[in-house]
């Protein structure tokens, strides 16, 4: 027979793989592209301290072992009957078996190494001279509950893993029990134990988007010590993170199949063999599995309880998963602490995966953002429509009133016809060091967004870190896909040519997506495509999976939900769909902190779900874009539609018939077309006015768009004499919220605070989910 074995962590050495990197140049370059650094140079020059760090060791060993296998075959090596790899090198065995291609295997190993390297406070120790049952009896009898047998390398060479101080402190008990050797290893994590549960969950999410092919050659699983079952390979590789490495049992299985020492080929770094001698020791110390052992399932392990400090910091959507337990189904309790994605909370520095979205003209005010930040929630300042000095003052006010380091964001709205406004805002954000923006109303990625993104990028340990983060609020998957790709190459080259970014920044831009998070906005107040979350969220989640695979060295990408969320039922629905976080809008406009008038808040507190309508957008008047607004008690929706119809039917202001002209001037604008244009000429750039003089249709658009601006101002200032013209952006979530809180202290808007609403909504959502799931599971 022929069996190929791949050594795992500990087999790395300086100088490994230099000949195969030259021989398989294309694959080496492929590895460099995935890793973001020169693998051959790391393996050659080290330093060894870096090469021995888990996040570097694991991908380096995978690459070297895999290429050595290709060399073995090219040099006439016999195709093996079995393959097996120790711990991380099981992926090299899967590559050799055709289960994974080289690049896919490397991407998975990079993520595995990254997650395992994040584990801190753990330790491992090699114990020689004691058998597995003796080791487990010592752990049980001595009451050592935070140390586990992790690697069963041979019948009398076993590696312990657990809390570092407990591993160090257990030496006396094992030496007293007859261990001939007890050596604490230089690692930081409790690998292959329940303490890796957090990494395991994150790894499970990552690996779920990869396809595993059928084996061409049987691969012995570290988890089961038996050949993999094709349908279960992914599940076994997830389990491998927390399960012990059953290497000794795997070797005994091969012995039972007639494999001898001379059949073993160790395929890995040049130098003294690591795993081949383990075969001989296993043969001498225990021999093959007998017929009963061979037919049986794995020998029962010492009970491996869940660790007390488990957290669900990396689950997506609904916190803890439903679990199968025989014929019964149970679920873990859902709470505010495990709802949504804890990884989102960690990445954005918030207590809960919840935020208040930007509402233009400072309706999402500095006071609102301050209130949210103090509660550990995310608040986005509504910068759209405000002059730069006012935005700058708001940023300063927020910073001076929140604890240091608390996050907040600033809205960055698209300006289709006036891109210079985007550039001016970018200059301000960079100058003020604002590290989070909510990009909204974009149909395409723009140059200003790319420049903002570029200035916050840096390379750290082969990974790209983004200090300037972007939450893209979108309502179409095709727009989401643009933010889930790297910056458009023509824009990168243009910014380079203009010396707006450096060569290093240009290179880093190509290695990250444009957004760190996508907020899927369903039917909402203000600009809306009237989408449904049930149709929008699933395809965006699919796009996210592909993006995380493409940019696996740049961190997690999150998908959130907004639009229509004003009740626990709505929040629960989007969490079940898979949303990592929630952003609310309309319901925050009717709070004490909102930067609008008391008159508007009185109106909003009285609306129902059917009291809104769609009207033309003033910002995108010519394109026919729609906004959702309050219709109860106002004429704005119908008057806005009338202006658009008039614009489409006429070529200039002069061609409008006198009766209609008089109606618009007297009832809508409150002054003549000429007076309106005079005011516009004082505020707009000269080239814009010159264009209007040349193009009567454009002049008409500018005059009509003034109505949209005025109606917003009248509402914000609470000018009740113009109440019927108030433009109030609002979605049906406000009406749903009003019905939910009717009869409670929150019925009056004077008692509503944005942070309290958010916390109450999350608490009630968790309670609702518990009740619903308890019904589903009996």
| Residue 192 appears among annotated catalytic residues | yes
Say if CB 345 and CB 353 are below 8 A apart. yes
Is residue 221 within 8 Å of 236, Cβ to Cβ?
yes
DSSP state of 591: S
Cα angle, residue 602 at apex, residues 596 and 606 outer, rounded to 5°: 130
Burial class (CB in 10 A: 0-12, 13-18, 19+), 663: middle
CB atoms within 10 A of CB 543: 20
Torsion, Cα 460 462 465 471, to 10 degrees, reads -170
Tokens representing residue 254 in the block: 């091969």
Measured CA to CA, the distance from residue 110 to residue 88 in angstroms comes to: 10
Q: How many CB atoms lie within 10 A of CB 237?
A: 25
717 contacts 725 by C-beta, under 8 angstroms: no
Q: Which position has the token pair 């005059």?
A: 703
Assigned token pair, 745 = 């202290």
CA gap 441, 443 in Å, rounded: 7
Query: Element (H or E) spanning 101, and its range?
Result: none
Residues 6+ apart with CB under 8 A from 213: 98, 99, 100
Query: What one-character DSSP code corresponds to residue 668?
Result: I
- Other CB atoms within 10 A of residue 520 CB: 28
**By the 8 A CB rule, do 152 and 248 touch?**
yes
Q: How far is CA 700 from CA 480, 622, 632, 736, in A?
A: 34, 11, 29, 39
Q: What is the bridge-based pairing of β-strands 82-85 and 3-6? A: parallel
φ, ψ (nearest 5 deg) of residue 378: -95, 125
Given 66, 86, 87, 415, the catalytic residue? 87
Quick one: which of 343, 355, 144, 159 has its CA closest to 245?
A: 159
Q: How far apart are CA 504 and CA 616, in angstroms?
A: 43
Local structure of 522: helix, strand or coil: coil
**Are the C-beta atoms of residues 421 and 381 closer than 8 Å to each other?**
no
CB 612 within 8 A of CB 628: yes
What is the DSSP pairing of strand 517-521 with strand 558-562? parallel
Alpha-carbon Rg for the chain, nearest whole angstrom, is: 31
Angle at 530 between CA 719 and CA 475, to 5 degrees: 105
Going by C-alpha positions, the residue among 369, 382, 394 that lies closest to residue 593 is 369
Spatial distance between the Cα atoms of 762 and 119, rounded to a whole number of angstroms: 30
Q: What is the 3-state secondary structure (H, E, C) of 29-95?
A: HHHHHHHCCCHHHHHHHCCHHHHCCHHHHHHHHHHHHHHHHHHHHHCCCCCCCEEEECHHHHHHHHH
Q: CB-hemisphere CA count at 13 Å for 713?
A: 9
Q: Which residues pair with 637 in a beta bridge?
A: none
* DSSP label of 220: B
How far are the Cα atoms of 336, 568, 578, 773 from residue 776, in angstroms, in the given order?
Answer: 21, 18, 18, 5
DSSP labels, 141-163:
HTT-TTEEEEEEEETTEEEEEEE
Q: Is 248 a catalytic residue?
A: no
The neighbour count for residue 216, using CB atoms within 10 Å, is 12
Among candidate residues 86, 192, 415, 753, the one labeled active-site is: 192
Q: Which sequence positions are flagged as catalytic?
A: 87, 192
């Amino acid at each position: 027979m022929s069996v190929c074995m791949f050594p795992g962590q500990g087999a790395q050495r300086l100088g490994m793989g230099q000949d195969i990197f030259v021989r398989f140049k294309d694959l080496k370059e492929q590895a460099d592209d995935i890793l973001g650094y020169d693998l051959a140079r790391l393996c050659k020059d080290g330093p060894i301290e870096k090469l021995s760090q888990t996040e570097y060791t694991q991908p380096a060993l995978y690459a070297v072992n895999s290429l050595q296998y290709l060399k073995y075959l090219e040099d006439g090596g016999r195709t093996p009957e079995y393959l097996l790899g120790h711990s991380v090198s099981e992926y090299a065995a899967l590559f050799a078996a055709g289960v994974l291609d080289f690049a896919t295997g490397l991407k998975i190993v990079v993520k595995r190494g990254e997650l395992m390297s994040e584990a801190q406070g753990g330790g491992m120790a090699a114990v020689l001279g004691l058998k597995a049952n003796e080791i487990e009896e010592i752990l049980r009898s001595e009451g050592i509950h935070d140390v586990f047998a992790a690697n069963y390398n041979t019948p009398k060479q076993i590696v312990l893993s657990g809390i570092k101080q407990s591993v160090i402190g257990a030496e006396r008990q094992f030496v007293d029990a007859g261990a001939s050797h007890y050596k604490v290893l230089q690692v930081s994590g409790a690998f292959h134990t329940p303490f890796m549960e957090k990494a395991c969950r994150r790894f499970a999410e990552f690996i779920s988007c990869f396809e595993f092919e059928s084996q061409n050659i049987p691969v012995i699983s570290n988890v089961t010590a038996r050949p993999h079952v094709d349908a279960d390979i992914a599940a076994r590789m997830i389990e491998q993170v927390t399960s012990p490495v059953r290497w000794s049992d795997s070797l005994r299985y091969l012995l039972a199949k007639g494999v001898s020492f001379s059949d073993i080929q160790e395929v890995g770094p040049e130098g003294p063999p690591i795993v081949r001698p383990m075969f001989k020791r296993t043969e001498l110390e225990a021999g093959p599995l007998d017929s009963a052992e061979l037919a049986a399932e794995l020998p029962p392990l010492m009970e491996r309880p869940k660790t007390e400090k488990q957290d669900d910091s990396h689950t997506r959507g609904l916190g803890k998963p439903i679990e199968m337990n025989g014929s019964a189904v149970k679920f873990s309790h859902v709470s505010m602490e495990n709802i949504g994605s804890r990884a989102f909370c960690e990445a954005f520095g918030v207590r809960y995966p919840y935020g208040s979205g930007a509402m233009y003209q400072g309706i999402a005010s500095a006071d609102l953002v301050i209130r949210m930040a103090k509660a550990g929630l995310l608040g986005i300042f509504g910068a759209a429509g405000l002059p730069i000095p006012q935005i700058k003052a708001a940023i300063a006010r927020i910073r001076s009133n929140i604890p240091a380091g608390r996050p907040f964001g600033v809205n960055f709205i698209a300006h289709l016809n006036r891109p210079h406004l985007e550039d001016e805002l970018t200059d301000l954000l960079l100058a003020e060091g604002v590290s989070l923006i909510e990009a909204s109303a974009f149909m395409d990625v723009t140059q200003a967004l790319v420049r903002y993104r570029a200035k916050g990028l840096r390379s750290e340990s082969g990974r790209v870190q983004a200090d300037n983060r972007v939450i893209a609020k979108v309502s179409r998957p095709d727009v989401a896909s643009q933010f889930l790709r790297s910056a458009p190459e023509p824009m990168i080259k243009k910014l380079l040519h203009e010396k707006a970014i450096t060569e290093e920044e240009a290179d880093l831009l190509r290695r990250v997506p444009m957004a760190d998070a996508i907020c899927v906005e369903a039917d909402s107040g203000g600009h809306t495509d009237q989408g449904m979350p049930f149709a929008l969220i699933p395809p965006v989640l699919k796009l996210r999976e592909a993006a995380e695979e493409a940019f696996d060295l740049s961190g997690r990408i999150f998908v959130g939900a907004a639009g229509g969320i004003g009740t626990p039922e709505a929040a629960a629905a989007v969490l079940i769909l898979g949303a990592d976080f929630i952003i609310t809008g309309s319901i925050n406009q009717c709070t004490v902190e909102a930067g609008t008038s008391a008159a508007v808040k009185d109106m909003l507190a009285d609306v129902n779900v059917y009291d809104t309508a769609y009207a033309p957008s003033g910002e995108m008047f010519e394109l026919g874009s729609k906004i959702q607004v309050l219709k109860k008690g106002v004429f704005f929706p119908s008057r806005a539609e009338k202006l658009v119809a008039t614009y489409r039917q006429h070529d200039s202001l002069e061609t409008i018939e006198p009766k209609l002209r008089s109606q618009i001037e007297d009832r809508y604008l409150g002054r003549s077309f000429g007076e309106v244009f005079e005011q516009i000429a004082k505020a707009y750039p000269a080239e814009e006015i010159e264009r209007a003089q040349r193009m009567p249709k454009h002049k008409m658009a500018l005059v009509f768009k003034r109505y949209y601006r005025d109606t917003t101002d009248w509402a914000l200032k609470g000018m009740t004499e113009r109440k019927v013209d108030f433009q109030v952006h609002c979605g049906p979530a406000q009406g749903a919220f009003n019905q939910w809180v009717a009869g409670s202290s929150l019925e009056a808007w004077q008692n509503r605070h944005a942070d309290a609403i958010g916390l109450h909504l999350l608490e009630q959502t968790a309670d609702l989910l518990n009740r619903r799931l308890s019904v589903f599971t009996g």
